[in-house]
A and B are shown apart, each in its own frame.
Chain A
Amino acid sequence: MAEKNKKLSVGAYLNCLAAVLGVVGIVAALICSNMTITYRLGNMGTIAVLGVFGICLAILGIVFPSRFGNHDYLGTLSVLGGIAVFTAAFGQILGERILLIAGLFSYDSVNTVGWQVFYVTAVAIAAFIIAAIVLIIGAFLKTVKNQ
């Protein structure tokens, strides 16, 4: 029988943080994609979908435990899915930016616009990766308080 309206615990707050980081990741990806035409992310749509999906899963990782208790199956699936999806979003950005990054760190180190794009890209990448790590930490912890 489902339990309802449990008090949120640390894990839930970490899931919230992951969702916020997912938003940050999407926004940063959007910004770096729109800084110049040259460095527009051709797979921005995919990244956005993955990001939104990850945010939803992070939130479901709170919703399900609050109804079914800590470490329930659906909540766990949501968290694992969220981790995979956020990591996939990171992978999508990395795949698109790897040529830029390779250039900046070798033959194209004087590309000032490229560096600006890189810095924003780094924010997006960091946001998605940290979101996944936060979800991992949350997975070890309780999402709702025992009553």
Chain B
Amino acid sequence: MKKTGIFRGLAALMTFLLSISVIVGNTLESFSSTIDTALGTQSEMMVTDDKDAVYDKFTPPAELLNEDGTGNSHALIQAAIDLNREQAAEGTVLLKNNGVLPLASGANVTLFGIRSQVPILGSSFGVKAFGGFINLDEALQNNVTDFAHHITTSLSQNWATGQVERGYTTGEWSGDEFEFDGAGYKVNPTMTSIYTKLNETYLHTENAGPAEEYDPGEPSVKEIEGVNANFKDSFAKYGDASIVVIGRPSAESEDYLPGGIVSGLGASEPLALTTNEKDAIALAKECSDKVIILVNSASAVEIGELKDDPEIDAILWIGAPGSYGLLGVADILCGKVSPSGGLADIFPTYNMSAPAMQNMGNFSYANAADVITRENSSNYIIEAEGIYVGYRYYETRYYDAVLGQGNATGTAGTYASKSGWDYDAEVAYGFGYGLSYTTFDMEYEGEPVFNVSKNKDVTTATATFNVKVTNTGNVAGKKSVQIYGQAPYEQGGIEKSAIVLLNYGKTGLLQPGESEVVSVDVDLQYIATYDSSFDNGDGTFGTYIVDPGTYYFAFGNGAHDALNNIMAMQGVAAESLVGEANADYAYSTEITEDTLSKTAFAYSKTGTKISNQLDYADWNYFQDGEVTYLSRADWNGTYPKTYSDMTLTSQEMIDYLNGKYYTVATEDNTSDIVWGKDGDLMFYEMAGLDFEDEKWEELLSEMTLEEAQYLATFGGPSIPGADSIGTVETYMTENAGNGIAVNLNASKDTEAPWNISSEDPNGNWHPEVFGSSPLTAASFNPDLAKKLGEFIGIESLFTGIPILWGPGLNTHRHAYNGRNGEYYSEDPILSGYTAMEFAIGALEYGLIAAPKHYAFNDQETNRAGVAPFMTEQRAREVELRAYQIAFEATKYDTEDEDAGMRGLMISFSKIGPVECTVSTGLMTEILKKEWGFKGYAVTDIYDDFDLYGAVLTSGATCYDTRGMSGFYTDTTLDSPRFANQADGSAISATVFAGDANAQQAVRESAHNVLYAIASSNLMNRYNATTHVVKLNTWWRTAYYAAIGCTAALTVLFAVLYILSKRNKKEA
């Protein structure tokens, strides 16, 4: 009896374990691509039996390969170190220097601030800096890396204990170390050891994040004394200079918030200096009469008082420099490289003075509980600052203040001014500003060359500015040439910024006395103004307007300098200006209807007539008169108020918010849409073909509607295969823009001749090592951005990734966006050109750089579905302009090829009350028709699953169902994940059977997806013999074994139970 019970119980236990094993196995298979990435395994592989004509389309450079053609991991890492160093050296911005910099090699220096030991190298979550890194004290005094003992850390929550803990980004490093030439300083070991000791209790990491109530965690002097009471004794020996590091992190999903700082720190805002930080600076002054501040942040830290402090000798902004970027910072400090960066964002004295700050954070409709039924639709932000984002606000108000117009000197929006609004008090450092160790003479080399041409309806108008730059100083250096413009503004007319960046270039390294002429091409569309009220005469409204009048252009050391130069040309008295001015640096020209028609840009470069597509972005479109947008006609009267507790009264707006967008038709005649046609054309034959090539129609006709629907439904890292055209289920994408987020030894393309074997000593090198996006933008160097794109393209060949979810291309609407570290700048021109160069560079190696998040993802707070309201002018001239430049990529267009990005990720957010994913205006009319985008336009992760018909008919090409695998088996169209449709429809392979529009859209999506892949390095692997094989990863083996063992034991114990029971009966 006892035995029977035991066997029965054991059989029950084994049944349970068997069931669990099966469930675990199914779950692992359904998400195998994600599991592979997380665990560094490879559970399936594309295999091409016939090795002819594979791996010949995109190949890594020869210098990164061994003689046998395999990848040389040492050379690859060395190249990454060199490029990250260059990125940081070119992006670092010298804001202040009274001559203390450069600091000669051999100096004895002391580092202050806990961030001097735990610098912010990357973001928390998002674009982390991974793996072994070079710390500041190493860069300053060492000559070889110590990756084995310096691995970047991030914070994560221990879900067992709930505690936030510090964790290493990668496991131990047992690979190569690398020699470098450091700055040659000697660093005070006392302070280094104190901060190292203090960081045992402080939760600082190299990838840190902001918080709603932020605490920079700078130790007090008392805490320093607690570790070593005699620390000041070391000052005498290491007093050649003090270097203080002030850090503020950046992260996905978290923002800084107005007033969001832990109380008692002596600061009222999270980006203001705390008492302990000021005390660290005071210690630095005590230690040395040479004090250098390093601002280690992607956002504008409030350093106005340091600017005016005569005891602060130098200030450098270093962004988040990446794993090896502190080498570049050291190069700047010791003078190996002269600084040449310019700020990618304006640094106001107080960030709260930005009009955008009046409306950021958490806002919910007052009556949301009564009228909103859809998840993630209750939050909004009113972007009442209009077009005046970043420097466009400060400089335009400055211009009007000097000219005495628009009530610019009123008190509204004053934070640092003593009485009326005062630019000098409100702004610490302007956009584009940066100093050098050398001096340059700049002059126009001849008159700017204007070219206006017309092809049918499309006008192309450019101005080429040739600027001769001469190094007049004593050291070699580079110089950016930033060209700004000003369009004629009529008081009370359409809003116009008094100064806008139009384009930029950069010299090479100029030796003393050397000159170079830099040519900067300006697309005059970017000085035109979007007038949403313009009557197009065809029943539509809104287009770009070139108002006749005097247009001014200027170069300068940033936007403010350029504006001063224009004002000097306009005859404004020098004494009324803040800063210097030189009329010779400005240029003016009259534009009349004869030279450039007022509606010259009414047609986009694709020949599409432009008109309003985003009326619903404006709150007043639904509930007129409730929002006042900032206007330079009356700065004082229109400075934004905080729009809290807005009440929804418009039923149309409520319907949008509740997801009422699209109803699937059931009765359409779809007979002229051909599916499933017999044919022999295979996908691998499409490599490199134009989007318009007629073969695409043939290929698409061979697909079944179900196959096309699978492609559109399951995008993201894995996409389904389609038997009819010979594609296989494929792992395609990875996240981040500072490198590919896949270890070298976890390549998705182990068949590649250059594959780096899993046994390689450097195999666990993780390529996400580069600095944050603002650092790249601050270099004002298109060539550097392209070089970064090319290198990450090369990384993609070694890791087998054809699509990258990056770079981030949203606008720095304000300094408090926690994710600014992933986006380039507050300026769309700088962002757009930098992204374009990056993407074109990446595409040279078959990597599709897909920028995110299209568009209007202006803050992380409530990012899942927040509704930002704005004017269409603002949308087009600020946020969308960056994407437009990147996607049009006119610089690289040739007669034979329409260059441009081939992918994008759509925003979680809405535009007005409409989800970006379902906005046909955004996704089709603007993106595809106006800009000519062709490629992979995917939703953000798991977004808007309840709007299936609306998303797939908007112009979006597919959902990101990130991590799913096993299509047609575990993962099917009637997956419960798409079960809750806002329109009540049931998703299946036949849902669009009677909907011609949806079928056409799905077909178009398949075309775009396949076209994108066909231009990627995935084509290295495709031919007629390509298929997928499953590999035995350890986890697959483990669950197979678990199922086998538990099944056997279940049977065994069941048999023993039966035998035992029989024995008992017989007994």
Contacts and interface: CB of A to CB of B under 8 A. Distances in A.
B377 to A, nearest CB: 10
A107 B945 CA distance: 17
A42 B12 contact: no
B13 to A, nearest CB: 5
Contact of B977 (A99, A133, A135, A142): A99
Given A37-B946, A95-B26, A142-B5, A105 B159 contact: yes
A16 interface: no
Place the interface of chain A in its size category: 35 or more
A141 B5 contact: yes
Nearest to A136: B12
Contacts of A110: 253-254
B125 interface: yes
B6 interface: yes
A41 B941 CA distance: 19
Contacts of A99: 942, 977
B979 A42 contact: yes
B15 interface: yes
A45 to B, nearest CB: 10
Interface residues of B, number: 47
A107 B1057 CA distance: 49
B252 A42 contact: no
Contacts of B946: 37-38
B977 A40 contact: no
Interface stretch (B192-200, B368-376, B430-438, B990-998): B368-376
Given A71-B5, A95-B26, A132-B16, A80 B374 contact: no
Contacts of B34: 102
A136 B8 CA distance: 9
B976 A109 contact: no
Contacts of A96: 976-977
Contact of A37 (B11, B125, B373, B1061): B373
B980 interface: yes
Nearest to B252: A107
A96 to B, nearest CB: 6
Contacts of A42: 975-980
A62 interface: no
Contacts of A79: 8, 12
A121 B608 CA distance: 50
Contact of B12 (A38, A80, A103, A105): A80
Nearest to B125: A107
B31 A98 contact: yes
Contacts of B375: 36-39, 113
Contacts of A40: 979-980
A94 B976 contact: no
Interface string B712-750: 000000000000000000000000000000000000000
Contact of A76 (B8, B942, B977): B8
Interface in A77-103: 79-80, 83-84, 87-88, 90-91, 94-96, 98-99, 102-103
A140 B254 CA distance: 51
B19 A107 contact: no
Interface in A89-147: 90-91, 94-96, 98-99, 102-103, 105-111, 113, 132-133, 135-137, 139-142
B27 A136 contact: no
Interface in A40-55: 40-43
Nearest to A141: B5
Nearest to B978: A42
B638 interface: no
A140 B376 contact: no
A105 B942 CA distance: 15
A76 B980 CA distance: 39
B1016 interface: no
A99 B963 CA distance: 9
Given A107-B125, A136-B9, A140-B9, A87 B20 contact: yes
B248 to A, nearest CB: 20
Nearest to B19: A87
Nearest to B159: A105
A139 B941 contact: no
Given A36-B375, A90-B23, A95-B30, A106 B125 contact: yes
B864 interface: yes
A139 B1057 CA distance: 11
B4 interface: yes
Contact of A38 (B6, B27, B376): B376
Given A37-B980, A42-B979, A139 B12 contact: yes
B253 A136 contact: no
Given A87-B19, A110-B253, A136-B9, A71 B4 contact: yes
17 contacts: A36-B375, A37-B374, A37-B946, A39-B375, A42-B978, A42-B979, A43-B976, A71-B1057, A73-B1058, A79-B12, A80-B15, A95-B23, A98-B31, A105-B159, A109-B253, A111-B864, A113-B375
Closest 10 CB pairs of A and B: A42-B976, A42-B979, A140-B9, A91-B23, A139-B12, A87-B19, A38-B375, A139-B9, A43-B976, A40-B980
